[in-house]
Structure 1
């Protein structure tokens, strides 16, 4: 990872963080950060987190987390076999993840993803898995590098079980 100061990831604050220069070249993600992230945070619809390089307030990347649910019938049969018989299961949605175009290829996407997974793991709210809705096949490939699994009938919706996230961080600490 090529960075200057130690990066910081923190909750988005519309009054403090400069989002005006952020562009990831995906219009929907750029527009979300500029015009909706603050409202989502205020309404508690999603929790946007931003990547900064202190002391600069400019955003280098961001992701959002929100509670969601997933129907057991959507999950692979082998995975569901081990679960209790609830028809709807709690999960965490990693709704958006983007890195500024000027910082691509420097490990910031991985840094954001690992931070999001660790926050999900540390949460006291029950969650069976982290779910993502990938925008395109490039995003699918990114998540599959981190062992996210495709849902059988929704090829751009992927999930990573919390048990695997826990093992990921246990192995990093050993």
Structure 2
């Protein structure tokens, strides 16, 4: 277990993805096998936290989305979707998940990005509770799809 400060960066070929183990097979498999294809096709951006510059302690992905709701004169509401967020088991309990979420919110709330909310897809009830703890609101018809209006994110 490490108490080193984390550095956040876009995923690149220097990072060691093979040793990452969050304990969730779908999240681990995505990082090991799929993420580089999604980044290359520009369907997702992946941000990683490292303690040593090489080994990934945690990651999250962002992609464009829409809520399907309407605003006056707009057929849908633009949003940013956090598709995945995971922390390696060796770094759990250090607040890294919350730090990754804060970084994602900071990026999504930048004024040059036109989006109403950050959406998250919780893989289970524990993940949904994590997002609710951080102020996210569950969609009534889909309790594991949550959102946070970006107007509520403090400016950095």
- TM-score with structure 1 setting the length: 0.84
Q: CA deviation at 1:85?
A: 4.6
Distance in structure 2 (CA, Å) of the matches to 1:53 and 1:104? 13
- Give the one of 38, 41, 47 matched to 1:40: 38
Over aligned residues, Cα RMSD in angstroms? 1.5
Q: How many residues align?
A: 155
Q: CA deviation at 1:8?
A: 0.6
Match of 2:67 in 1: 70
SS of match in other structure, 1:71: coil
Mark the runs of 5 or more structure 2 residues left unpaired by the alignment.
none
Q: CA deviation at 1:58?
A: 0.4
- Does the CA-based 8 Å contact 1:150-1:159 persist in structure 2? yes
Superposition pairs of residues 93-104 of structure 1, within 5 angstroms: 93-104=81-92
Match of 1:7 in 2: 6
Matched, 1:59 2:56: yes
Distance in structure 1 (CA, Å) of the matches to 2:145 and 2:101? 16
Distance in structure 2 (CA, Å) of the matches to 1:121 and 1:128? 9
Mark the runs of 5 or more structure 1 residues left unpaired by the alignment.
74-82
Distance in structure 2 (CA, Å) of the matches to 1:38 and 1:102? 23
User: Post-superposition, which runs of at least 4 consecutive aligned residues in structure 1 deviate over 6 A?
Assistant: none
Matched, 1:147 2:146: no
